[in-house]
Every structure is written in structure tokens, then in C-alpha cells.
Amino acid sequence: MLAGIAMMPHGNDVLAPKDDETRYLAEVLRSIGEVFRTFDAYVLATPHNVRMSDHLGVIFAKHLVSWLGFAGVELPGEYETDRELARLIYEEARKAGLPVVDINFASLSGEYSRFPLSWGELIPLHFLEKRPLVVVTPARKVSRDTLVRFGEVIAEVVESYPKKVGLIISADHGHAHDPNGPYGYAPESKEYDALIMQLIRENRLGELLNLDEGFIERAKPDSYWQLLIMLGALRNVPMTLRATAYACPTYFGMGAALYLRE
Amino acid sequence: MLAGIAMMPHGNDVLAPKDDETRYLAEVLRSIGEVFRTFDAYVLATPHNVRMSDHLGVIFAKHLVSWLGFAGVELPGEYETDRELARLIYEEARKAGLPVVDINFASLSGEYSRFPLSWGELIPLHFLEKRPLVVVTPARKVSRDTLVRFGEVIAEVVESYPKKVGLIISADHGHAHDPNGPYGYAPESKEYDALIMQLIRENRLGELLNLDEGFIERAKPDSYWQLLIMLGALRNVPMTLRATAYACPTYFGMGAALYLRE
């Protein structure tokens, strides 16, 4: 059963908030962790694990091992893949005609079947109790419909899965908020972030599909593609929004959203 | 220019040989390293990096970082991807209609664009001078022709590339030589290994395409799919066999072959 969906950021600042907005954001992330404590497994969509241009990925490796922090912030840890759920998602996505690949590493099973985790997974996971999970990856050069359909497939599969599962959408938003940041300044970052939080709060996520490609490019998010997966999942299993938060303590925007079943 | 091709094993025993055959095998591996010293880059086909059922992979991540040794034998090291060559191989493989994906991790470029290496790459690389490289991965559930064609594409691309490039085929052979080994005993392992070395020595690699699927399964190699890539490359750029070696110090067979331009 798909028991809840959470959009969670992966910026280091939520680990050590320095302002009130970020402190509140971290508080909402902790509350997501509290609510998800009764869940048995997670599906985690991340933009900072394996990256392929035009294929979606489902990580099959048995052991998921902390490997890469951002700016020296390391969160050690090892997680296990729910391989049965990974297999079901992969197989259903293939049946749906989606361009998806199964990703393993070194060995097909056993102790050497391992895959690295980056800050994109480790920071959301830091706020959650450890559970078996399935890491899935979006792609930027597939159609918007493909990403929405992938979300629908994930929700379909999870709904008929005997465990209580949470879908985690790891996402940060516009990266061009600060003229001195690594991506410089673009007004579209602020505009994009405000729009995303508005669409979430007003239950209008479907309007994501209308966003102009150039606008997204200028806003420099790493959220848009995962949000389309979230949209697909919510289309299949309608939920109620229970909490949101947003903060932009450095050059990029971070938001949280918690959806639970009605 | 494709300057040479080497089939190299990735078993720990070649790092510390305990018998004469394995010592000779290690000697041949060192001689491959000597010959390849004048090369500018490598393409390395490996069965122990990213593994996908039915898609070939080309690793685009900038930094390739030692991550996973076998049985505790670690070979530290960091290598760089030749991204221009990776791009050319990927694009030509796509144009040829092959099921291939570009693999990156965390970030598309810069310091966070990293990918892990396992013993499957690190052991062959241990015998070679450090050069930029392109890691490519076979798949077991694609057609034999697809793998041969991938080898042809690699050879075509490399031939018109301005650098002197060596193709490394990381491969171990039958894994069921020892009744007390992890894969038990199957007479097909010995038979497969003898046949592979014979086909190499007698310049009859094309006969790989006639091998029975059940025979391969029972022999339990992790060489067959990479050897088809080697066959494709040799079809495109005929070379002369300069050295071979074979040893089976534990439960699996290891072989070396060095091909250079005529």
C-alpha cells in the first residue's frame, strides 16, 4: 500500500539550520520521519544517484552504501534494497513501455551486489528510520508523460504490494538565487520555487505539465523531473497535503511536502 | 587509432601468484602493461562494474574511484574518464541502433561526477600505466550480434580517434572448476576454458557464436559477453596474437591474450 508521499530536500543546510525558515523546514522533515516510522519500506526518487540521459533507473543492488557527501558533509550508513519491490516496479514499468533499466553493480546478488549513495539520498534518509528501500532515478531527456507514467506505475505497484510503503521525492528547487552562488543569479529561480510551492499547496500539481522548457532551464532546479513522478503517483493514489515548508538559506531553494492517504 | 587489444583476468591470484602457471600469467600481464605504455587511453570492457540485464553501458562520470575489492583485496586508485571518447562511443552505438545508456553519477560534471570501480577494473588496471579511460559494460540479455556489433562500433570509433588507444577485455572464464568452490564442479568449466584459449590461439574466435547457451551456463564464465565485444573489435581491426597465458589456481580460470596491429 502506498501510505504516504514526501517531497524532501537534500541540501546540507537542513542538517544544521542557521535561520528560522530552515529550522522549520528541518522540523517538518523530522515530522515526516515520525509519520513514516510505521512504514515498512520506501521508494526513493533521486536526481543525484545514477544519472542517465534518457532512461529511468531502478537500483537492484542489494546493499546501498554511503559514498559521496556534498562539500565534505558525510552521512555514513548502509541500507538494503527491497529487491522484490524493485523487481515489480521494473517489470511493470517495462510492461508500460517505459525506457527503464535495472541497475546492479559488481555482482548480481550477495555481499558484492552494492551501489553507492550520495547526498541526494542520504540527506532525506537521515530524517527517516532505516527501512528497506528502492532507489529510482528520473531522466531529463525523456518526455514529461514518461515521468508521470513512471509515477503512476510506482503507485500502482506499491498499492498492490503487501507492505506499507512511503514514496520519497528527493528534490531541491531553483539553484540561481544568489549572484555569488555557483550558478549565478536568475529571477526564474525564485519564481519557479514560489510556483512549485503554490501548486503543491493549492493542489494544482497537474499544471507542472504546462511549464515552459526555457523557464525551467533558467530556474536551474533539480526537482522538476522528480515532481512529475510525484504527480503521477498522486494521480493514481489521491492523498491529502498535511504539511509544507520552504527555505532558501544559500543559493538554492529547499522545500518539503507531506501527503498522506485521505 | 586502435593500437592493441588485451584480454586480462581480474582474479586476486594474479596479484600474488602461488604456482608457475599463474606466475607466467602475471608475467604476460606485465608485458601487456609494457607494450601499452606508449598508449594514450584505454577502453575497458568489464563484467563487474554497472550491470544491466539488457542494456550496454558507457560510463561518463569524470572520476573513476576505487571502491570494491574482492575478498578484502583492495587496490586504491583514482582514474579519469576520457569523456570525448565516451561520448563518441555512446553516440555511434546509438546510431547503430544498439541498446546503450550513458551512465553518470551524482553530478553531470565536475568533482562530484564520480563512479566506483571494482576488482573487475582495478586488477587489469593494476598492470597498466595510468591513462584516461572509458569503461564500457556488456549485458547478458542482449543478442550475441548486439555484443559483436558493440565491439565493431568501439573499434570504428577508436580507429578514427586521434589518440593511440588500447582495448582491455576484463574477463575470467569457467567458475566451476573446484567441487569445493562457491559454484561447485561442472566439467564444462574446464572444457569452456580450453575451447576459449584454443579459439584465441587458432584465430577462430568467430566460432564463439556457435556455442550452445546451456553449455555456457553450465561453464559459468564471466567472459563470454566481453569476448563477443572483442570479436567485434577484431573483425573491424584485424590484429596479430602476440602472447597468451592461462592458469586456474583456484575455482575459476584466468587467461590473457595480447593482440597488436599487423
Per-residue pLDDT tens for A216-246? 999 999 999 999 999 999 999 999 999 999 9
Mean pLDDT of A138-146: 98
Nearest to B105 among A50, A54, A108 (CB): A50
Whether A81 is covered by a domain: the verdict is: yes
Range of the domain at B16: 2-162+172-260
Q: Is the pLDDT reported for residue A262 higher than 90?
A: no
Rounded Cα gap, residues A167 and A161, in angstroms: 13
A167 in a structural domain: no
Residue B167 lies in a domain: no
Q: Could you say which residues from 35 to 94 on chain B have a Cβ atom under 8 Å away from some Cβ of chain A?
A: 48-55, 67-68, 70
Number of domains in chain B: 1
CA–CA min distance B223, chain A (Å): 14
Mutate to test the interface with A, among B49, B50, B115 (most CBs of A within 10 A): B50
Task: pLDDT band for B48, please (50, 70, 90 cuts).
Answer: very high
Q: Which residues contact B30 (CB under 8 A, 6 or more apart)?
A: B127
Give the nearest partner residue to A68 out of B68, B114, B120, using CB atoms: B114
**Model pTM above 0.90:** yes
Chain segment B147-198, per-residue pLDDT in tens: 999 999 999 999 999 999 999 999 999 999 999 999 999 999 999 999 999 9
Average pLDDT value for chain B: 98
pLDDT band at A68, cuts 50/70/90?
Answer: very high
Give the C-alpha separation, A112 to B80, whole Å.
Answer: 24
Query: Across the interface, which of A51, A106, A116 has its CB nearest the CB of B48?
Result: A106
Per residue in B218-249, pLDDT (tens digit) is 999 999 999 999 999 999 999 999 999 999 99
The C-alpha of B262 sits at a distance from chain A's nearest C-alpha, in angstroms, of 35
Residue B249 lies in a domain: yes
Contact A52 B103 (CB under 8 A): yes
The two beta strands, A56-59 and A254-261, are unpaired
Contact call for residues A135 and A121 (beta carbons, < 8 A):
yes
Contact A50 B103 (CB under 8 A): yes
- Residue A218 domain-assigned? yes
Interface test with B, best of A51, A137, A140 (most B CBs within 10 A): A51
Contact list in A for residue B112 (CB cut-off 8 A) is 68, 70, 118
Query: For position A24, which CATH number holds?
Result: 3.40.830.10
Split at pLDDT 50, 70, 90, the class of B135 is: very high
Q: Identify all chain A residues contacting B74, using CB atoms and an 8 Å cutoff.
A: none
Among all residues of chain A, which has the CA nearest to that of B182?
A110
pLDDT score of A24: 98
Answer whether B241 touches A (CB < 8 Å): no
Residues of B in contact with A116 (CB under 8 A): 67, 105, 116
Average pLDDT over residues A190-203: 98
What is the ipTM, given to two decimal places? 0.97
In a domain, A126, yes or no: yes
Nearest by CB to residue B106, choosing from A53, A102, A118, is A118
Is A170 part of the contact surface with chain B (CB cutoff 8 Å)?
A: no
Which residue from B minimizes the CA distance to A50?
B105
Percent of chain B with pLDDT over 90: 100
Q: Give kind and range of the element (H or E) at residue A93.
A: helix A83-95
- Burial of residue B52 (number of CB atoms within 10 Å: 0-12, 13-18, 19+): buried
Q: Are A132 and A82 in contact (CB under 8 A)?
A: yes
Q: Which residues, in sequence order, are CB contacts of A160 under 8 Å at separation 6+? A: none
Query: What was the pLDDT predicted at B262?
Result: 77
pLDDT digits (tens, 9 = 90+) for B54-100: 999 999 999 999 999 999 999 999 999 999 999 999 999 999 999 99
Mean pLDDT, residues A83-100: 98
Is residue A262 within 8 Å of A240, Cβ to Cβ?
yes
Q: Would you call A118 an interface residue with chain B, using a CB distance cutoff of 8 Å? A: yes
